[in-house]
Structure 1
């Protein structure tokens, strides 16, 4: 994995926004997704008969140490540290549901965890300025997928799964090659905020292996 800060910069919104937004087009995307998954017995069991309900549980941004929903992120280039201008990390502002800042931290890449979310390698960031018991001191995140620039070339909206805690031990158990996530079914998710409603519908559809729409099926009433 080659960390590229450009894929992280800018504004992100929580996937919970796509789950809780009842625009008729998103409702249609979720309905189609549930129908598609019902034809696959294993997925039907996992999704409790409803794709939206499953992701609402898996992607909740509130956790044991922070009981409120997280509405999004704003990410900027890292501050220079000494003479090193190539710091692997970023400055991240956590936002609530009203896009009001909760806190801002300087995150530095500590290492890569081999068996992270979806069983894939994940970055482990430590906040260099976090105090004791700060619930946002450690951030584990997958690489944004696809890369942030893909949307401009007709690709899908960039998104990523993550977890956070006050201490790395709250998220990972074991050491070395035996290290695993403690909460393997906790999937808080962020989506790039520059996406349109159509882009948001298509990321929901893509998660359930459905073809992307070329246009919204329910025209705007504006």
Structure 2
């Protein structure tokens, strides 16, 4: 679980950012999608021609069980207790950089074989979260790429996840089975490693739209 530990920021923060460099990354990404026929371009008319608006919808961090408090980031530490401490972590849910709205110990319960992006996903339980808490169950992909790749010119590590008050709220199909499927297949809350600088954040936006990475930030 070493790739999970540390600080993470929500991709929503990059969607809503007004930093000039991030604005330019979005502008060029939008233009690229309009000029290229793809699954993304086919969806543009439903979102006013805006990829940014599409991602704001797909990557929203609020949900039915948590309608009013967007998730700004996570802080994750290794578990220091329990029989299976290596199969979990302590996760702080943050509504901004300094406000913690929940901190729970998560243990891996099982995996599903086709989750977000159709890939295997972990199903974690936080038994210490109160009944009805939206943070009792977390479904997540492996972080990708490895954090170390950023120092070698790679992309910022990121992961997709879903969360809810129970497995039934998130999954359908066999109870606790690998064959269970996501109820909300188009919901893609996303966390990005907070290790990256502004250039790395711009390049994750560009990579999402199949644009080459910038070697440095634009001058204007």
TM over 0.5: yes
How does the TM-score come out when normalised to structure 1? 0.92
Distance 1:85 1:66, change over 3 A: closer
SS of corresponding position for 1:12: strand
Once the two structures are superposed, residues 79-112 of structure 1 have per-residue CA deviations (whole angstroms, 9 ceiling, x without a partner) of 221xx46530100000003431001000001111
Alignment partner of 1:184 is 2:185: yes
How does the TM-score come out when normalised to structure 2? 0.92
SS of corresponding position for 1:140: strand
Distance 1:148 1:41, change over 3 A: closer
- Cα deviation for residue 185 of structure 1 reads 0.6
Distance 1:77 1:184, change over 3 A: same
SS of corresponding position for 2:103: strand
> How many Å separate the matches in 2 of 1:86 and 1:138?
17
Aligned to 1:46: 43
> How many Å separate the matches in 1 of 2:138 and 2:203?
27
SS of corresponding position for 1:7: coil
CA contact (8 A) 1:7 1:149 kept: no
RMSD: 1.4
Aligned to 1:64: 64
CA contact (8 A) 1:141 1:161 kept: yes
> How many Å separate the matches in 1 of 2:22 and 2:195?
17
Once the two structures are superposed, residues 120-179 of structure 1 have per-residue CA deviations (whole angstroms, 9 ceiling, x without a partner) of 111110013122101100000010010122112221100001000010110000014542
Distance 1:132 1:85, change over 3 A: closer
Distance 1:156 1:170, change over 3 A: same
- Cα deviation for residue 184 of structure 1 reads 0.5
Aligned to 2:122: 123
> How many Å separate the matches in 2 of 1:194 and 1:41?
31
> How many Å separate the matches in 1 of 2:192 and 2:40?
23
> How many Å separate the matches in 1 of 2:219 and 2:110?
45
Aligned to 1:14: 10
Once the two structures are superposed, residues 51-74 of structure 1 have per-residue CA deviations (whole angstroms, 9 ceiling, x without a partner) of 111100100101100121111000
CA contact (8 A) 2:93 2:103 kept: yes
> How many Å separate the matches in 1 of 2:73 and 2:178?
32
- Cα deviation for residue 23 of structure 1 reads 1.0
> How many Å separate the matches in 2 of 1:27 and 1:210?
15
Aligned to 1:107: 106
Matched length: 213
CA contact (8 A) 1:8 1:148 kept: no
